[in-house]
Amino acid sequence: MSLQIQKNLWKKNFYGWLLRKKYKHNWITLKAFVDNTNFYRRIPKQFFKNPKDLKAMSFYSDSPISIDMCAFTTKRKCLRGVRANTSSAKLIKINYSEFKSAHDKFKLDYNNLIVFNKSISHTPIKKSDHPDNIYSNYAHCEVNLNVITSSSKETAKLKRQYSKIIIEILKTNHPYILD
């Protein structure tokens, strides 16, 4: 994908809309994101201290963290999830530059123990590929934390710390919890 097409893909005009429709229709996997690319993260209610405050563990996971690109989904579809989980959840909105800021802060604090190359990857989910899913999700992306440590206990500790850093960045930048 050329750099010019990549830039046009995110524009909020007819040409950008048309490019996004073409990509979604053909299930073209995106290779890169611009700094202002926005993502939704569906957070179950147990990850909230109160209605407007997230627990630090909301970005902690042993597997890749699931997020959805806002340009290819709606709030309703994102809240629904691919398995139609009916538990109440809220959406938070985060952009690519905030993920990069969290990675940079983490690298400074922990001596480059995390690798940022390709940490967010576009991984569309087709219903036909996963029998337990009842919906397809072209907007699906994954945040992969490539932490280099000698023990799984240390890796878990670092992933918890990374989750705390993301929450700190979200709190300082904008109202991140969507109603």
Domain co-membership, 10 together with 87: no
For residues 64 and 99, state if they share a domain.
yes
Q: How far, in Å, CA of 121 to CA of 19, rounded?
A: 19
Q: Are 72 and 20 in contact (CB under 8 A)?
A: yes
Low-confidence spans in the chain with pLDDT less than 50:
116-117
4 with 45, same domain?
no
Same structural domain for residues 54 and 121?
A: yes
- What is the C-alpha R_g of the chain? 17
Q: State residue 62's pLDDT score.
A: 72
Give the per-residue pLDDT at 43. 82
Helix (H, G, I), strand (E, B) or coil at 90: strand
User: Does 106 share its domain with 50?
Assistant: yes
Number of structural domains in the chain: 2
pLDDT given for residue 14 in this prediction: 92
- Which range of residues forms the domain containing residue 167? 33-178
How far apart (Å, rounded) are the C-alpha atoms in residues 30 and 4?
14
Nearest by Cα to 165 from 13, 76, 57: 57
pLDDT of residue 117: 46
120 with 142, same domain?
Answer: yes
pLDDT tens, residue by residue, 101-124: 887 777 766 665 555 445 788 888
- Residue 69 confidence (pLDDT): 92
